[in-house]
Amino acid sequence: MVEEKSKKVLTISSRIENIKLVDSFIDEIFSEFQFSEQFYGNVLISVHEAVSNAIQHGNKRNPDKKVKITSYREGECLVICVEDEGNGFDHTTLPDPTKDENLEKPYGRGIFLISNLTDKYEFSDNGRKIEMRFNYKNPKVV
């Protein structure tokens, strides 16, 4: 069950420099709910990757389009959703960044990182929204 009092929302324009606002947002969440620093890095990196993808790929760096970041607690999980206003994409067709032909590419690792740093993640709204779950009672250690 979602704890409504724990719900926080940050909406930013699609400018890459606005990612610094995400840092403050994550810091505020960790401070308010006194989450262990043990999984701070997992959350920060995952949210950075999701927001960066939303800005660059989803909204094509159009500053008139917004990225919405929502967080809340549900059971023993911190849930963070990142949503863009782009056309969406099919996440099942992403190339595997661990294959030899992709190792030297300077891009394409964001979703791979998210998959390894979250306890669970799921796309919806035709790929325009990603929901990431982090178990704060039993943090994933990578």
Mean pLDDT of the chain: 90
Residue 34 lies in a domain: yes
Q: What is the CATH number of the domain that holds 96?
A: 3.30.565.10
| pLDDT score recorded for residue 108 | 60
Q: Looking at the predicted structure, is the pLDDT value of residue 97 above 80?
A: no
Residue 142 lies in a domain: no
Q: Domain range holding 127?
A: 4-135
Number of domains in the chain: 1
Specify the pTM.
0.91
Residue 47 lies in a domain: yes
Please check whether residue 69 is in contact with residue 12, taking contact to mean a CB–CB distance below 8 angstroms: yes
114 contact partners, CB below 8 Å, separation of at least 6: 46, 49, 50, 121, 130, 132
Residue 140 lies in a domain: no
